[in-house]
A and B are shown apart, each in its own frame.
Chain A
């Protein structure tokens, strides 16, 4: 899972929260990236963590990470499609791992 994966692991050891850890790891790699994490309930993507930006972005990308969680990146245009793809694939592996998500509401 490369650099992103090891950063997530390292943050997870201290925080014990997978979403916070993923956010911190991505922020370290891409400090300008504006990200919002959401719990998915049907159409509703309910805010749970992340950056709140005031200004509109023209390159919103929504990544569905598993049935329950998603990531909105407001300014995905500041990274390459390859980097975006790596983020998506790495996060999906973590979000497929049940050990992090015993109870999605907790």
Chain B
């Protein structure tokens, strides 16, 4: 980026015309009066209504805001138990009993913004700032590949030193770094909002999903929390970042809200309206994934402890369940921010992806270091990948490192169409079996192999189609003989 100062760089990031084109009559899609009125209107839902809504979710239809508001306002614990069960049933119906596993890789923690709840905020002088260079990144990738990872989410602060060209270069490095049989096959990105032109650059280098979390959908809260961030203060630039993404051809997008900043019911309504607006404007293409991180402690970030909107574990399980029911076909990510027992619990209500063996310090994987002063927040689950996979297997879930869809043209509208019909499990389960077999052969401990192999046999027998079963059997034999990266 040569001699451009941070101040100059900041001035050229936001393109107002790339916001305005998506507004409806000059307004964004988060109509707060409508959200509040709908939540109020559905304050006391009848049992029968909740059950009707659940039935609709079980048919894999996306819920309307009124229906979602009714679920959010349910006070009947018995009905919640039914909703938890429905969440898992939907997940299995759409994706099967597979959980996609990935690792987060923090590449740069420099940031021009100053979000009061974030450990990376510019005014936090207790954080060691660093952007990985190529050699350091290669070491990180090697460390991750050597554990068995195939999928990454690479994370970047918003700063000229981690601009789009830096992100593109680091993606290319991630894809090209191999260790024996191992390689990274899909890199998703969590970064600040970009303009269409920059998003096209990421498309060219083979980005997986692009994630931007709105943090909070509540306008005033957003303004209060980001008032000192020169870029992040712009609510609309962030709100429409995924619209620009799809416009640029990056058609797998991930949205999310940071729970604990504002009322959790409002945020879920925001996530739903975001989904609906994307689907309306892009021919049915909604979010590939939805994330629902909760505020976690961070070094020298006392604001977090004082938020009036912190979400307890019980409420967290409820909010995850409502998201599952409201958007039945979307991937849902539960991260290692949460404690192991919380993760195990919410996996049972419909999550589809988790990170494992996460180390979110910049440059910390290769050093096997746990350094809070390089982290955005403090993690709740520090299990190794092998331990997490074994725990999943004990719960009856098969770990998947599948990256087949985006390598076979099943992206965007194509992926959404298959998923909305609840048919993606036909692809997910065989590919989960194949990638899990690779993991067991190349990376697993004896203890995990002992639990994993019978799981493969069980899932193989459960495949409904004899032809597929035979093909997968043959592919497993080829994998045992040394071939890798086989998929359907």
Is there an interface contact between A56 and B414, defined as CB atoms closer than 8 Å? no
Interface residues of A in 37-53 (CB under 8 A from B): 37-39, 41-48, 50, 52-53
Q: In whole angstroms, what is the CA distance A70 to B408 when docked?
A: 9
Nearest opposing residue in chain A for B414, CB measure: A47
Nearest opposing residue in chain A for B429, CB measure: A56
Is there an interface contact between B411 and A44, defined as CB atoms closer than 8 Å? yes
Q: How many contacts between A and B, using CB within 8 angstroms?
A: 86
Nearest opposing residue in chain B for A74, CB measure: B408
Among B409, B467, B470, chain A packs the most CB atoms within 10 A around the CB of B409
Q: In whole angstroms, what is the CA distance A38 to B410 when docked?
A: 9
**Interface SS majority for chain B:** helix
Interface residues of B in 384-420 (CB under 8 A from A): 403, 406-415, 417-418
Q: Contacts A43-B403, A44-B208, A60-B488 known; A55 to B203 CB distance under 8 Å?
A: no
Q: In whole angstroms, what is the CA distance A41 to B409 when docked?
A: 11
Which residues of chain B have C-beta atoms less than 8 A from A56's C-beta? 426-427, 430, 465, 468, 488
Interface size class of chain A, counting residues whose CB lies under 8 Å from the partner chain: 20 to 34
Is there an interface contact between B412 and A47, defined as CB atoms closer than 8 Å? yes
Tell me whether B200 is interfacial, beta carbon within 8 Å: yes
Nearest opposing residue in chain B for A47, CB measure: B414
Q: How far is the CB of B153 from chain A (nearest CB, A)?
A: 15
Tell me whether A58 is interfacial, beta carbon within 8 Å: yes
Is there an interface contact between A41 and B488, defined as CB atoms closer than 8 Å? no
Is there an interface contact between B426 and A54, defined as CB atoms closer than 8 Å? yes
Which residues of chain B have C-beta atoms less than 8 A from A55's C-beta? 423, 426
Nearest opposing residue in chain A for B413, CB measure: A47
Tell me whether A23 is interfacial, beta carbon within 8 Å: no
Nearest opposing residue in chain A for B204, CB measure: A41
Q: In whole angstroms, what is the CA distance A43 to B465 when docked?
A: 29
Nearest opposing residue in chain B for A41, CB measure: B206
Nearest opposing residue in chain A for B470, CB measure: A58
Q: How far is the CB of B208 from chain A (nearest CB, A)?
A: 7
Which residues of chain B have C-beta atoms less than 8 A from A105's C-beta? 200, 249
Is there an interface contact between A42 and B414, defined as CB atoms closer than 8 Å? no
Nearest opposing residue in chain A for B431, CB measure: A56
Q: Contacts A52-B418, A56-B465 known; A43 to B409 CB distance under 8 Å?
A: no
Nearest opposing residue in chain A for B475, CB measure: A58
Which residues of chain A have C-beta atoms less than 8 A from B406's C-beta? 43-46
Which residues of chain A have C-beta atoms less than 8 A from B403's C-beta? 43
Partner of B412, one of A41, A46, A62: A46
Which residues of chain A have C-beta atoms less than 8 A from B465's C-beta? 56
Q: How far is the CB of B149 from chain A (nearest CB, A)?
A: 15
Interface residues of B in 433-488 (CB under 8 A from A): 465, 467-468, 470-471, 488
Tell me whether B251 is interfacial, beta carbon within 8 Å: yes
Which residues of chain A have C-beta atoms less than 8 A from B249's C-beta? 39, 46, 105
Q: In whole angstroms, what is the CA distance A60 to B414 when docked?
A: 16
Cβ contacts A63-92/B at 8 Å (1 or 0 each): 000000010100000000000000000000
| Interfacial residues, chain A to chain B (CB-CB below 8 A) | 36-39, 41-48, 50, 52-58, 60, 62, 70, 72, 105
**Interchain residue pairs with CB less than 8 A apart (21):** A41-B203, A41-B205, A42-B206, A43-B185, A43-B206, A43-B403, A45-B407, A46-B251, A46-B406, A46-B411, A47-B409, A47-B411, A50-B414, A52-B414, A54-B418, A54-B426, A55-B426, A62-B408, A72-B408, A72-B409, A105-B200
Top 9 A-B residue pairs of the complex, sorted by shortest distance between their CB atoms: A42-B206, A38-B409, A58-B471, A47-B414, A54-B423, A36-B409, A44-B206, A56-B426, A45-B409
